[in-house]
A and B are shown apart, each in its own frame.
Chain A
């Protein structure tokens, strides 16, 4: 199994990185790579970097069979686009991991969708890793809502004429 851990490009998320490090120590056959943020816990049982460029991030996700992540929408959207199952754990304000508890609300919204599992804590995260084969893959996310795009296009057209080199066909 190939796991890609990402905690976002800004803050470390030691609770998640450490949990996966402990798991990796017990599962030497698994390959793990992490983007773990700056200045936090450094895993001892898998290779990790502070930050990946979007291109590196994408190819790491393609390399992986499973993405383990904080509840970041960049990761959720990328995992859906690349059809990678996703194991999430939310950052919590009470542990000073983030400044609002929106990740917990997002996790509740996402959990149970095909290919997406949200673990409440480290213990559940480790338990869930054993069942990943049964999750299926996330639904590919469609394009943005036509109503939203339409309204933005209308507003854009009202303030700025299109240049004549416009590719035809629009979206």
Chain B
């Protein structure tokens, strides 16, 4: 019998700035088995030697993708059974945290985008109930009851 593979840490974000910010967190996870999840095949390069999965993007502007995104996430979560899921948003990140808690009991981390200067994003506010660590990148948005501020990615 082969030894069961160690459950990885999953790093997941939608495109553009969300992905760029997630990549700046990589030093925190050095030495751990990782799996990267993005919304475009061309982000694979950033995963290096780690596994990379593509899921369908969803947002308020492309909300009809929602069933497909959920299906993709369920498949990816069951395939890798991450011990922890870290996301910088947006809506796919929120869905990932909820499903990861539900399906595989992952520890979950939400880091709201640094672009949300005046208030947490809508997904960020909803992530509260599903995130073990619920972070804003703006000190003035932090509250004793959360979100927590620990600095920013830039």
Contacts and interface: CB of A to CB of B under 8 A. Distances in A.
A171 B42 contact: no
Nearest to B19: A74
Contacts, number: 140
Interface in B1-26: 6-9, 15-21, 24-25
A148 to B, nearest CB: 4
B24 A73 contact: no
- Chain B contact-residue range equals 35 or more
A124 to B, nearest CB: 21
Contacts of A105: 117-118
Contact of B33 (A146, A150, A163): A163
A94 interface: no
Interface in B105-123: 107, 109, 111, 113-118, 121-122
Nearest to B151: A145
B109 A99 contact: no
Contacts of B43: 54
B30 interface: yes
A103 B115 CA distance: 7
Interface in A116-171: 141-153, 155-156, 159-163, 165-167, 170-171
Contacts of A8: 16
Given A55-B45, A73-B113, A78-B20, A163 B32 contact: yes
B117 A106 contact: yes
Interface residues of A, number: 49
B9 A160 contact: yes
A148 B135 contact: yes
Contact of B84 (A73, A75, A156, A171): A156
25 contacts: A54-B43, A54-B45, A54-B46, A73-B115, A75-B17, A100-B121, A106-B115, A143-B27, A144-B24, A144-B152, A148-B152, A149-B28, A152-B28, A152-B86, A155-B109, A155-B132, A156-B28, A156-B29, A160-B8, A166-B30, A166-B31, A167-B30, A167-B31, A170-B27, A171-B30
Interface of B: 6-9, 15-21, 24-25, 27-33, 40, 42-43, 45-46, 59-61, 83-84, 86, 107, 109, 111, 113-118, 121-122, 132-133, 135, 150-154
